[in-house]
Structure 1
């Protein structure tokens, strides 16, 4: 008969082995982003800690296989008492379902209890784009001319923000571009590696080319072809937080709401294209959305704006 401490090591090894195999699968076969992997790993660790208390000992794979929906609801209930929001709870449940499905495919678990557990309802909030005039102002270096910073810093930030609004890039995609990828002329395209390592081609507007050229002309650092296109004040890779702070500063200068963030420029790109008659499928490809349903949320924004215009101007709107 195994001693208690030896049995505990066996249980942990059993669970940890499956957990490591799952995370390896997510990283190399599903190609999830490092941030998603970190969140899923944390979710599973929190679930294991809960089960240690809930079951009176470290959980084994067999313990998890025997769980009922009531056990999972107890976990979600504890997390809610810890003031975790509905979106986080839904992500945690999604992580656990993914883990259970992986275990089921390997013959170690059954995913039935996880699939049968309902998560909290989430009202899907619409993206909040900027007005076209505000979006253009955010992407201009001269908007921050009153700040005491080196002109090349303003030019750099403007170039990054121009890529978000002019090409629909995520901030991580813009900051991952290499110097060799900088567009040299209007009509050039960017090869962008997005979520899930999916590659897409994005055409570059002349104004974006000009913005990047202005930054390169002022940048005091030598930028190797395979090094980052955008660098920080000391010449190292540029942190997304620097761009977020730049937009926070612009919010105050332009009187913009808190919803005006770097990612709001990507929303503005899609919303303004759709509002000018852009094709939904083409916008899906430009954004790098895997599903058209993700892109269709922008049609709801357009409809909401149309109804607001009716309410404000139509004689019968108030009847």
Structure 2
């Protein structure tokens, strides 16, 4: 048997220009800020992370994806040699390198020919460092697989109404970024079909901040959320045997009844359990990792990927992250609009 030369049949890409790399660096940092905001970090923590990255970038003089372990050795071993251990630890735990490796490894290889790897390894990691985690939501096709399978299950499930309710609530979380606690407290009257292009949800019990109490907001029914809710209200809601004219009738009712015979609100345990069961059945690779909060991360990532700016996403999800400016090398981080809906 003769040996033959194996050639890479993948398309050959031309290296990116300096302008393209500069735009990509700014966009990547904007995406990192969004990912940290979606993970629920405080404003000050995010500003601190970006400040550390800016100082490393200023010292290095090139995009941080070019940084290698030897560069990290020089930075932590010489530049920060006499710095407080807390400063060295904070700089080493900046998750930007992990973010680039998880989300942009293929794209960076195409643009630069480099395979991105974190320059901070077991040999040069400052003492006291803990394994950091960055929540990365499932991809669009994965979430599509989950809801396609879950939707098909509705035709054969033993309890149609509760299953359809859990399906609708989870899908709404992935489409407009609701928190599970917010979904449980929605009333039927909170759907404002006459507002905006698709209608809006009046979230009356949004996440507060620093003791401020619940914050209200209006959430556009984008990404097909209007169709999801119309189907649920027209074909499912009535099966819970409640009166839609009753003040305070919950959008997502429970099978249990109040003393007057009206439906109680669904609890967050029921919605979490429904999502967990459906994930194990239709997206087993995610197991117990796919929670309602991860669906919120997915929604934020999809909105950003579709061109919605960071400030608009923060407004939609009730975040209050103040984006640090300027970015590396004096460039402003892209502060990218929600009022279109």
Normalised by the length of structure 1, the TM-score is 0.49
Which structure's residues are more often helix, by fraction? Answer: 1
Q: More relative contact order in 1 or in 2 (CA 8 Å, sep 6+)?
A: 2
